[in-house]
């Protein structure tokens, strides 16, 4: 993760519901096409004292494409901070929690260029980060992506 995100302190895949982002058929056990998992990540943006923590339910799958098109992937994420019983998880005061209300990413291979096009829409809330700093961090992160 640190190769493309210099602020990252690491990521942990906590639980898999289905594996295989390139699988076009549905999982026989869960009925999920593609990969679905719970991911926890931490990052240290500049000017923020405590690391920022994010925990997501993430679903990624390859989209069907025509013979002349390159590969296309759709990734959708949503924060999950509850336990399996639906109660809030115990708070860890060593980090600032962020809530990702919605994250949608479309990644398309650009044929014969060695590049890809990324379209991303994200709506998040970071209660411990002032809005002015959050906007600067978000714009800086997007520009370097």
Residues 6+ apart with CB under 8 A from 117: 107, 108, 110
Diameter of the chain measured on Cα atoms:
51
| Global pTM exceeds 0.85 | no
Query: To which residue do tokens 């520009």 refer?
Result: 143
Average pLDDT for residues 39-48, to the nearest whole number?
82
Count helices and strands (H / E) in the chain. 1, 7
Q: What would the mean pLDDT of 90-95 be, rounded to a whole number? A: 72
pLDDT at position 104, please? 96
Pairwise pLDDT comparison (16 vs 142), residue with the higher score: 16
- E-strand stretches of 34-111: 35-43, 52-63, 72-79, 96-97, 99-110
Question: Which of 12, 74, 2 is CA-nearest to residue 38?
Answer: 12
Please tell me the predicted confidence (pLDDT) of residue 74.
Answer: 95
| Percent of the chain predicted with pLDDT > 70 | 79
DSSP label of 33: B
Does residue 13 carry a pLDDT above 90? yes
Residue 16 β-bridge partners: 37
CA–CA distances in Å: residue 110 to residues 50, 66, 72, 116, 144: 39, 13, 10, 5, 19
Calpha distance 76→73 (Å, rounded): 10
């Amino acid at each position: 993760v640190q190769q493309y995100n210099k602020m990252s302190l690491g990521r942990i895949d906590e639980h898999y519901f289905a594996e295989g982002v390139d699988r076009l058929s549905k999982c026989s056990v869960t009925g999920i096409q593609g990969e679905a998992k719970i991911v926890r990540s931490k990052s240290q943006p500049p000017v923020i004292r405590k690391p920022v923590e994010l925990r997501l339910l993430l679903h990624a799958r390859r989209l069907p494409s025509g013979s002349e098109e390159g590969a296309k992937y759709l990734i959708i994420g949503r924060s999950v901070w509850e336990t399996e019983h639906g109660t809030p998880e115990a708070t860890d005061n060593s980090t600032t929690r962020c809530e990702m209300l919605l994250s949608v990413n479309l990644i398309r291979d650009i044929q014969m260029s060695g590049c890809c096009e990324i379209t991303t829409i994200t709506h998040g809330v970071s209660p411990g980060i002032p809005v002015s700093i959050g906007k600067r961090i978000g714009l800086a992160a997007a520009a370097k992506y």
